[in-house]
Amino acid sequence: MHMAWTRKHKPQTLKEVIGNKEAIRKLVEWVKAWDKTVPKKRAIFLYGPPGIGKTATVEALAKDFDMELVEKNASDYRTEEAVKRFAGIASQYSTLFGKKRLILFDELDGITGTQDRGGVKALTEIIKITRCPLVLIANNAYDPRFTNLRNYCLLVQFKKPPAGEVVKLLKRICLREGIDAEEEALKFIAQRSRGDVRSAINDLQALAQGKTRLTYEDVSWLAYRDRQENIFTVLKMIVYARSCMSAKQAVDMADVDPDMLFEWIYENVPRHLTHPEDLARAMDALSLADIYRGRIRSTRNWKFTRYFLDFMTAGVAMARQKTKPSGWIPFNFPKRIQALSRSKAQRKFELEIGRKIKRKFHISAYRASKEILPYIRVIFENNVNMAAGIASWLDLDAEMIKYIVSGKQAEAIIKQMEIL
């Protein structure tokens, strides 16, 4: 069973929360104050961008202080009546069993203006009289709806943790998962996430789950990829669509091109449609889509695009009939695209060798790598002496020689060059 790494590796104590040390200090100080007397501000309002540990911090705090955490989110306090139901639990600091209580109203901005039927106002009333600490969380505390509410709260801002901290966290997770990861790879993931820790961990899981090594090359191709949230949402809409229509609509949302989308679906369908009959149906749909794709390529007739898209979206969506719903299954990046980008790195190397050849042959590096390199390779494979001569003449380094021919032959050539 798969489990989201954001949940699996959630901080178990405040010490494991990265960044925001000052905010956490204020929060702890305020909670401790409750042991003496009811403080002036009976609620604390944590705010800041998504995925940086606001909720996780409060959960870790409750654990560290052995408090009973009563967690609520938007749906629980849309109306005045709903909020008033909390008045009871808010009236006592200790539970029946002597445990201290902490009440969390999470995702306050989940109640939109029109949906709020007195919820925010009722919440303000509870804050005025509560006998136990209340924590509020929102992305934006300065929403005009909270103007009055703010007066009764201690405001504490959460900021995006620095990339270095995110790298450290990713390292810790890799250690626990038994993944040997290159520092550069983790740095790349951290920087891409721009301080959104949740998305950094999601990326890491998608790239590294089930592996023992993670290299920079494994992740660097992400730079070519469109935003991940989008493709994940779109995939979910296709693979778990309730109707053909919603699957087709997903394509309009996708800002990846159809070929790329095909790769994503192809990669992920087997793990999401686990019943063999469903999988067979989905693969049939994908192969039909592929036939139309081939026809578009050979005839340049774009009218087939519609069929290509229909088969890979609606066709795949309708394949789900017998697969039982299971827990959360992550979506993986398409391996075929990863392979492509690897050959992109190869092409770059070839071009570098081409540049060396260009100097002697006075043709473009591209032509050199396409037209001369194959001959050089044949010579390298068959004649060590001549190869060594050519290699010195072109000024190729050991790495380049090893790229042109592999193994023992390359070593022999390098040795011969030293003698020359």
Q: Judged by CB under 6 A, which stretch of 194-202, 255-263, 349-357, 385-393 contacts ligand ATP?
A: 194-202
195 binds ligand ATP (CB under 6 A): no
Measured distance CA(192)–CA(64) in Å, rounded? 32
Give yes or no for a contact between 99 and 68, defined as CB atoms under 8 angstroms apart.
Answer: yes
Nearest to 258 by CA among 327, 306, 299: 306
Backbone phi, psi, residue 264, to 5°: -65, -45
| Token representation of residue 152 | 């009764």
Element (H, E) at 229: helix 228-239
Which residue reads 């007397």 in tokens?
A: 37
In the window 123-152, what residues touch ligand ATP (CB under 6 A)?
A: 139
Give yes or no for a contact between 67 and 28, defined as CB atoms under 8 angstroms apart.
Answer: no
Measured distance CA(26)–CA(156) in Å, rounded? 8
Measured distance CA(358)–CA(363) in Å, rounded? 5
Measured distance CA(28)–CA(42) in Å, rounded? 14
Contacts with ligand ATP by CB under 6 A: the residue count is: 21
CA angle 292, 254, 55 (to 5 degrees): 145
Name the 3-class secondary structure at 98: coil
Question: Which listed option, Mg ion, ligand ATP, none, makes contact with residue 169 (CB within 5 to 8 Å by class)?
Answer: ligand ATP
Task: Pick between residue 31 and residue 391 the one whose CB is nearest to ligand ATP.
Answer: 31
CB of 272 to ligand ATP, least distance (A): 23
Q: Judged by CB under 6 A, which stretch of 2-10, 33-41, 68-76, 291-299 contacts ligand ATP?
A: 2-10
Binding mask 34-53 for ligand ATP (x = CB under 6 A): ----------------xxxx
Q: Where are the beta strands (DSSP E) in 92-192?
A: 101-106, 134-138, 153-157, 180-181
Binding mask 230-269 for ligand ATP (x = CB under 6 A): ----------------------------------------
101 binds ligand ATP (CB under 6 A): no
Question: Which listed option, ligand ATP, Mg ion, none, makes contact with residue 354 (CB within 5 to 8 Å by class)?
Answer: none
Question: Which listed option, ligand ATP, Mg ion, none, makes contact with residue 315 (CB within 5 to 8 Å by class)?
Answer: none
Kindly tell me which residue out of 198, 342, 355, 402 binds ligand ATP, with binding defined by CB under 6 A: 198
Ranked by CB distance to ligand ATP, the top (closest) residue is 53
19 binds ligand ATP (CB under 6 A): yes
Task: Pick between residue 109 and residue 371 the one whose CB is nearest to ligand ATP.
Answer: 109
CB of 75 to ligand ATP, least distance (A): 14
Task: Pick between residue 78 and residue 358 the one whose CB is nearest to Mg ion.
Answer: 78
Task: Pick between residue 193 and residue 313 the one whose CB is nearest to ligand ATP.
Answer: 193
CB of 47 to ligand ATP, least distance (A): 9
For the chain, the C-alpha Rg in angstroms (whole number) is 29
Nearest to 286 by CA among 323, 250, 316: 316
CB of 246 to ligand ATP, least distance (A): 25
Which residue reads 């949940």 in tokens?
A: 7
18 binds ligand ATP (CB under 6 A): yes
Contacts with Mg ion by CB under 5 A lie at 55
Angstrom distances, CA of residue 102 to CA of 61, 86, 88, 172, 235: 10, 12, 13, 29, 38
Q: What does the binding site for ligand ATP look like in residue numbers (CB under 6 A)?
A: 6, 9-11, 17-19, 50-56, 107, 139, 161, 169, 197-198, 201
